[in-house]
Structure 1
Amino acid sequence: MSANVSNTTRRSVLRLALGATLAAPLVATGCSVLNGSDSKSSSGGNGSGPVEKSKITVGILSSQGSVGSKLAEKYGYYKNEGLEVTLKPFAQGPQAIPALINGELDFAVINYVSFFTAIANRSLDAKIVVDGDTANETSQLVIAKPDSGIRGPKDLVGKKVGIQASKSAAELLVRATLKDNDVDPNSVSYQPVTFPNIPAAIASGQLDAGVEVEPYLTTAQQKQGLVPVMKIVTGSTANIPNTGYIATTKFIEANPKTVAAFQRAMIPAQRDAADRSKVAQVLPDLSGVDAATATLLNIDTFPTSTNPTQLQRVITLLQNYGGMTAQLDAANLIVPTPQV
């Protein structure tokens, strides 16, 4: 009888101990679930833990290259990844570089010609985090008056052509197109006139023609009656990468989870940019055009990952027509897109 009581007591103690042992993981799991819920708000619930910096500032442009950021904001993709994002507009991408370097910005949209030039000059230590947009043959064109007599590359010889800025992507694309058509790239007078001011400069006779991008390409046809006269995103420059989101190497190394969260948020946003109706919803706020005009714009392509081979073409363009002597490898200047 005493032995039975003793055995019963031992079994009870074992049951209590086993119950406590099993309960401990359940309690810990319960805490983990709660913490995981909090973590989801700061890391997108992908199991990588909280981002290092949840409040970030992104420098954007009024161009199509920034469409993804507006879509990510509109559809909550940033929020889903635990990011509270402030979008700060800049008139030109290079203007955002000092703000990026001093930490005022965490990411910035910049055209690749300016980016690779800054890298080559060692005035910037940064990498590409997200590929913004790829130009197509209808979204960047040379425009002129209908009666200008300009119909193709040979007609630009001796003419004054607006190219946004000296050694800009616009100038390099014109030079490459002229070369492709056996026209001396130096036979044109390249005039640094900004995109918003090119249509009026052509209309007044200050320029014979000019490189234009959206939304100014469409509004120039509406307001000044200008017409496209030459494609520059064709042949050797077809589907040339246009802009990207960059971050300093210092920021990337200090905030890898934040960078990955930003990239993950941008993937569905870039995918949405293939839907013209969604792009039209954000273009008025981004570019200042009205809703009706937004539906008429020639839309770029918006990659969901970054292709080093394609980006190397911009470096080659700079080496061939921009005077770059630095031997850059685009693959070393990219933060790989995370798998989702």
Structure 2
Amino acid sequence: MASGVALTASGCGLLGGSDDSGSTGGGSGLEKPKIKVSIMPTIDVAPFHLAVQNGYFQQEGLEVEAVNAASGGASLQKLLAGEVDIAYGSYTPFFIAKSKSNADIKFISDASSAGPKSTEVVALPNGPVKSVHDLAGKKIAITAADTICDTLTKSVMRDNGVDYSGVKWVPIGFPQIGAAVKRGDVDAGFLTEPFITQSAKADGTVEIIDAATGGTKDFPTAGYASLGKFASGSQKTVAAFQRAMLKATKESADRSKIEPLLVKFSKVDQDIAALTKLLTFQSTLDARRLQRVPDLLQQFQSIPAKIDVATMIVPQASAS
């Protein structure tokens, strides 16, 4: 990417932000009218940027400071360390932290689910991998282990009767995966948009599998979380954040509102932005839908026991 941002853990596309993204609301009786939110440079946060740009947080009396995180893991660590009040990230690290350290994580707002052809495993058309059946025992680039990247890939391989136990998962940042495939450093790579479109143009890669198919169709990918202490002690603040995000998420259904953000924050060309396959933007959390994530992680032994998602979701605010 022209911006040179390297992602080191799961995320869906490149969409950065600046730390100067707050508003100047007066509080309106909120327990904490000024909050910090860690975000990643991903397409999923487009509604967040719209909420900032259009003053939706400000209308709720909320001042938001965006704190950039290089990865989902880094965003989670900022939350656990008390550096931010709310953290955006893919769901996988949140559930793994819950299972391994019993972290008191509460989900505030949804962000996205995988749309058709927005998450793919790609390879060279004349390379050793031409179908999902060729992936067994190969080197596949992912951002990190136990992320959306390898979780979705394993699921599609399993759905097609392909053994994933011998795969060598190679950690590489999203912006470098296409080039690694082209050089032959890996046999295939997991990509999200806009990297899929950009890699096809720059490196000549082609789709091997759409990772949002079969058991992972419309799979929940990312959301916003806080610690339980903040969620229970700042209920009005949480509701204000949810209402602003709900309004911005509805607006994000208009693609013309998203493409300028890709150009502005991702530094991609307009033609790449126009061709990019978008994720499905979400805001309101649904326990049954989100339960799919820890259930799949348990199947792949990424977490040791079942997690009841309903206990991790805070009440969802309706539009004001």
TM over 0.5: yes
> Displacement of 1:149 after TM fit?
4.4
In terms of Rg, which structure is larger? 1
TM, length-normalised to structure 1:
0.83
Q: What corresponds to 2:12 in structure 1?
A: none
Instruction: Give me the identity figure in percent.
Output: 37
Unaligned runs of 5+ in 1: 1-39, 44-49
Alignment of 1:107-256 (within 5 A): 107-122=86-101, 124-256=103-235
Describe the superposition over 1:25-76 as per-residue Cα deviations: whole angstroms up to 9, x where unpaired. xxxxxxxxxxxxxxx9434xxxxxx111111111111112211110101111
Q: What corresponds to 1:282 in structure 2?
A: 261
CA distance in 2, matches of 1:98, 1:189: 27
Q: Which shifted more, 126-135 or 220-229?
A: 220-229
CA distance in 1, matches of 2:114, 2:77: 26
SS across alignment from 1:130: strand
SS across alignment from 2:116: coil
> Displacement of 1:284 after TM fit?
2.7
> How many pairs are equivalent?
295
Contact 1:176 1:185 in 2 (8 A): no
The aligned amino acid for 2:211 is I
> Displacement of 1:203 after TM fit?
1.2
Q: Which shifted more, 146-155 or 156-165?
A: 146-155
CA distance in 2, matches of 1:232, 1:303: 19
Q: Which shifted more, 173-182 or 286-295?
A: 286-295
CA distance in 1, matches of 2:44, 2:198: 18
Contact 2:128 2:187 in 1 (8 A): no
Describe the superposition over 1:259-308 as per-residue Cα deviations: whole angstroms up to 9, x where unpaired. 11000110011111111000112223333323442222110111231111
Identify the structure with the greater helix proportion.
Answer: 1
Q: Which shifted more, 320-329 or 238-247?
A: 320-329
Which segments of structure 1 move beyond 4 Å, counting only runs of 4 or more? none
Alignment of 1:298-337 (within 5 A): 298-337=277-316
Q: What corresponds to 1:42 in structure 2?
A: 27
Describe the superposition over 1:85-119 as per-residue Cα deviations: whole angstroms up to 9, x where unpaired. 12122110110222212332111111011111111
Does 1:265 pair with 2:244? yes
> Displacement of 1:158 after TM fit?
2.5
> Displacement of 1:123 after TM fit?
5.5
Describe the superposition over 1:94-147 as per-residue Cα deviations: whole angstroms up to 9, x where unpaired. 102222123321111110111111111126321110101111231000011121
The aligned amino acid for 1:325 is P
Q: What corresponds to 2:3 in structure 1?
A: none
The aligned amino acid for 1:66 is V
TM, length-normalised to structure 2:
0.88
Unaligned runs of 5+ in 2: 1-24
CA 1:57–1:209: 2 relative to 1, 3 Å? same
Does 1:69 pair with 2:54? no
CA 1:285–1:53: 2 relative to 1, 3 Å? farther
The aligned amino acid for 2:53 is K
CA 1:314–1:271: 2 relative to 1, 3 Å? same
CA distance in 1, matches of 2:143, 2:160: 22
SS across alignment from 1:282: helix
Describe the superposition over 1:170-197 as per-residue Cα deviations: whole angstroms up to 9, x where unpaired. 1111111111111112132222222122
> Displacement of 1:253 after TM fit?
1.7
CA distance in 2, matches of 1:93, 1:281: 24
CA distance in 2, matches of 1:301, 1:175: 21
Q: What corresponds to 2:8 in structure 1?
A: none
Does 1:100 pair with 2:79? yes
Describe the superposition over 1:201-228 as per-residue Cα deviations: whole angstroms up to 9, x where unpaired. 1111100101001121111112111111
